[in-house]
A and B are shown apart, each in its own frame.
Chain A
């Protein structure tokens, strides 16, 4: 722990709030001015302040997408490296207002849709810190509209890739770069709107930060950065030191890579030694052919997300990661380089996060959380409208969260990497020629336990248009269920069903399929997993089991299996059908 400059605790608390508010305001500015609903509605964006030399996270907002919170430091570092390399080659020095754009997943990105803007903030002719913005753009080319190409074998099939390039130089926006961006997307106008929103956010952040620095002085704010980082580190060390020393291993699997039907091992050996933690993923599967790989920066970012969910009191800055050592060799699918495809990164990071939960559950059973449903289920249905034009309905779907020491898991929640909400059925039906036959909780989908998991959902979607539509799914958990902890049971598997030749069919690769043909009146059904159970099912209170049966969360047949009770017919006594 570095010795921070002395700063009184009260000023520090005030500055912490003011700095977080700057990042929050940048978030809000982008949500409000973005055109694309993935940012505007689902809030797939993030902003923060980063260290002048190292790019380490100084301050993050409280509203940004959790997964980006961990990834941004890598993005800023990539830009710092680029600037240093350019200056080494004798390029013109950086100017205030200069702004870099990039989406390279292998160099501080996540997947190609996530565009980052990074800008230096100058004080007295020197870089004081960096500010950055990231947001998910709708489409950046590639074989499948909107990305999420389950069959991609190279990055080139997923879209266009930008290394860090100078978008704004000496106050001038580089129109050539805008032209290249526009030429490589199916939704150029939407992307341009989002880019403008991100530029607005950076401008606002610069302005607010300057006002704060004028109020408090650069030295005091610098001292606050150092102190806050040191405090996060101290808090994280205290959290780790409270856990028993030891090595805790946890293995889980991805169903397959979308190309061949072979499970992919995600293996974590977590070691606690005093106030240090090592996360070693060396035993994980090698890089795969399909889009389930991720880059090193993404792996670190998702471990950060997992740790923040467990140690919720640690403020979001680089100090959190100081006591953590990562071992993620490039012989695994968790540290791949270009051009290995990474478009399905959302599924892999959910599995990585799960292994951190699983390993920590052994070290700290009192605070263990069972696995959440663990798949993003990127489902799109596309086709021709009866009155002309094409439609693409795209969404991520929900599932159950894990049982935990406080109680049962949440029914139908979102994934740990995101706070995104889902559009209601009426919005889908008003926008696309589809009809939801069912939008319901899925009985028996949760893992049993003293505190059971939350329930997953059933969505059954019928197509109404006359022509032939096609469905695409990139999902997971079709072969390996969300796990329980402390003796809790696993949840149900993810299940996707479509109609083929008048019969029900399921994808050969469980939860990944492209181009399922759908005629008018035919439907697909997605049944998502619940969360895993917490604690021994035999310890579940009888009233809770009876309530589960009465409310139809659990069928009496399943309750008999999970909890060893004789089948109860509670429905008759309550006069409920």
Chain B
């Protein structure tokens, strides 16, 4: 790691993390000099997110005095899910214009043959030119710049705002793509031109085409959004740095985000996982499973040994594949807005259909009359109907929620409404538990060695039940579960990733040539991180190789124990073989000695470490007592009957306070349920640790 000493990029002023979600915009403000922090939650404005963003900032004080802003955004994700990207064109190799539409020959569902796929580029906007590169990188037919320019002109005439250029085998030799990109840029009316070899020089044309096309699809939308934000910030005389969280959990500059918006697809959720990892590590829990319960989904992520795992690609929707490193997050359709119903076979189901945030659960009074998980929690007394989260509504309509549960669940199952509400929560817990088991047990981790960290508005309602259901060690509820993603924006390191397919046999390796490639790649990613302009304590360059035995189609990630210093990585054949054997035997237990081993791709990442964030500033102020935190009792339904349950103001509970379940801990951004038989304790950083009594 480079030592940058204590050199601050600018005087260490304040930093604000802003997470714009579908319902709320969450903000976390921190003055790095004094340790002072503030939080805010304001309603999001769909379609003009910059208003909520600026409104939220204003609640924290004058915007001009802020040092830097780091933003987690769902603008890209929403544009993809709602198909609201730009009209774009694709220029590709003769014979291959349908790659995007043909996918990998899949279908939406295992059972049932219905469903269509609409690619983000219509077929008439996908133009071919006569050029061809072979798999070994040899040029069979050179690209003609005039053909590319002609295609670009036609796309402009048809109204394309951005263009993706993807040629077959360009991962092996980008020269034809470069010829075309140069010709297109010469006449394209804006900067929205992207060639696949600039974004993802990796084998597999469908994944590369999809990623590049989706990037072009987002470029105008995300570019305009970031432009509006920058203008709005300039109007407020903001002169600090403005950064974006990417799906890999690292921060990037707005320039990089505008050029590679596809890397923001999981921006907000990734920030949450980063914060969770940091909080858990500080609290002494290197192994955690995070659960973010939102309105429509439950997102689960696993952190082992303090590190979040990265996935190489994700599928946003059927056929919409993005291949770029991102925090691995599994999603199931079970959120607060998930609708409970009895299916035709007489089984109670919760989700995947959701009432979302609009019209929302029955208790919101927004017009939905089908009961949701949130309605069940309200009826059971777990959610305080008089003080809804976020402050948008004055109170929740418990009677309407109970009536809806009575109608849709209790009557068909022959239960009373309270039993039915408890059944809804049980089924939702079982689904969430299933998602946790899949991400842990299925990957060879024993959940008994993991703690569960709920975040988002609803996760802590279910933490205790999940603990029992999955056999987790404990639950760790962070100080501000509802604004974890905003906190993550402040904590996240700067990061830049790059991949290149190289296809080399280990036995025939020219280690010096590989070293040169690694040094070049390392310098390139490091330069991007340096250019981001945030205060850093150092930059580390990491390398991973995707490798397999010749004949296998899947590759495994092999981290290389090498360091970039003095213009070399010191990589050798022996280092690579040893690292491969170690990674392969961990994953599959049986090595296959004597079989040839191949390096498929080189992955380089630069991580710029941010100054450590002192999480103890979040802890409750000294001097409080549990008595002062008590807010009386109310009846809450657990295990088939009402329990007189103690209610506490979470933020007023002192360090070391211990509460036996049943109890409810309330705070403005979340509600924590301590089930009977469990005990909750406030740790030295202000987290609530829930364990079996």
Interface residues of A (CB under 8 A from B): 9-10, 12-14, 16-18, 21, 24-25, 28, 32-33, 35, 37, 40-41, 62-63, 66, 189, 193, 196, 208, 231-232, 234-235, 238, 308-309, 312-315, 369, 372, 397-398, 401-402, 404-414, 416, 419-427, 429-430, 435-441, 454, 457, 460, 464, 550-553, 574-577
B552 touches A9 (CB 8 A): no
A41 touches B554 (CB 8 A): yes
A215 to chain B, nearest CB (A): 9
Known: A231-B346, A412-B98. 5 other contacts (CB 8 A): A309-B111, A411-B102, A426-B204, A437-B95, A464-B134
B98 touches A9 (CB 8 A): no
Interface flag for B631 (CB, 8 Å): no
Interface flag for B513 (CB, 8 Å): no
A441 touches B102 (CB 8 A): yes
B427 touches A10 (CB 8 A): yes
A367 to chain B, nearest CB (A): 10
* Closest chain B residue, CB of each to CB of A397: B105
Q: How far is the CA of A66 from the CA of B157 in the complex (A)?
A: 47
Q: How far is the CA of A238 from the CA of B168 in the complex (A)?
A: 52
Docked complex: B87-125 residues within 8 A CB-CB of A: 95-99, 101-117, 122-124
A8 to chain B, nearest CB (A): 8
Interface flag for B565 (CB, 8 Å): no
A406 touches B423 (CB 8 A): no
* Closest chain A residue, CB of each to CB of B425: A10
Partner of A424, one of B206, B343, B345: B206
* Closest chain A residue, CB of each to CB of B553: A37
Interface flag for B413 (CB, 8 Å): yes
Interface flag for B347 (CB, 8 Å): yes
Pick out which of these stretches binds chain A: B38-46, B353-361, B435-443, B567-575: B435-443
* Closest chain B residue, CB of each to CB of A190: B551
Interface flag for B274 (CB, 8 Å): no
Interface residues of B (CB under 8 A from A): 95-99, 101-117, 122-124, 127, 132, 134-135, 140, 154, 157-158, 168-169, 171, 203-207, 342-349, 413, 423, 426-427, 430-431, 434, 437-438, 441-442, 503, 552-554, 587-590, 592
* Closest chain B residue, CB of each to CB of A27: B442
Q: How far is the CA of A40 from the CA of B103 in the complex (A)?
A: 19
Q: How far is the CA of A414 from the CA of B102 in the complex (A)?
A: 11
Partner of B105, one of A404, A414, A435: A414
Residues on A with C-beta less than 8 A from B553 are 37, 40-41, 423, 427
**Given A235-B345, A576-B124, A411–B114 Cβ distance below 8 Å?**
no
**Given A17-B434, A21-B438, A419-B107, A369–B114 Cβ distance below 8 Å?**
yes
B107 touches A414 (CB 8 A): yes
Residues on B with C-beta less than 8 A from A457 are 98, 102
Residues on B with C-beta less than 8 A from A208 are 441
Partner of A413, one of B105, B342, B349: B105
Residues on A with C-beta less than 8 A from B438 are 21, 24-25
* Closest chain A residue, CB of each to CB of B112: A312
Q: How far is the CA of A406 from the CA of B171 in the complex (A)?
A: 39
Partner of A439, one of B98, B127, B135: B98
Q: How far is the CA of A464 from the CA of B135 in the complex (A)?
A: 11
Q: How far is the CA of A402 from the CA of B207 in the complex (A)?
A: 26
A313 touches B442 (CB 8 A): no
Q: How far is the CA of A28 from the CA of B441 in the complex (A)?
A: 11
Residues on B with C-beta less than 8 A from A9 are 342, 346-348, 413, 423
Looking at A40, A401, A438, A576, which has the most chain B CB atoms within 10 Å of its CB? A576
Residues on B with C-beta less than 8 A from A402 are 113
Partner of A28, one of B101, B116, B442: B442
B169 touches A426 (CB 8 A): yes
B154 touches A576 (CB 8 A): yes
B135 touches A430 (CB 8 A): yes
B98 to chain A, nearest CB (A): 4
B158 to chain A, nearest CB (A): 7
B157 touches A439 (CB 8 A): no
A410 touches B117 (CB 8 A): yes
Q: How far is the CA of A375 from the CA of B94 in the complex (A)?
A: 27
Q: How far is the CA of A208 from the CA of B434 in the complex (A)?
A: 13
Residues on B with C-beta less than 8 A from A412 are 98, 101-103, 105
Residues on A with C-beta less than 8 A from B158 are 574-576
Residues on A with C-beta less than 8 A from B157 are 575
Residues on B with C-beta less than 8 A from A10 are 348, 423, 426-427
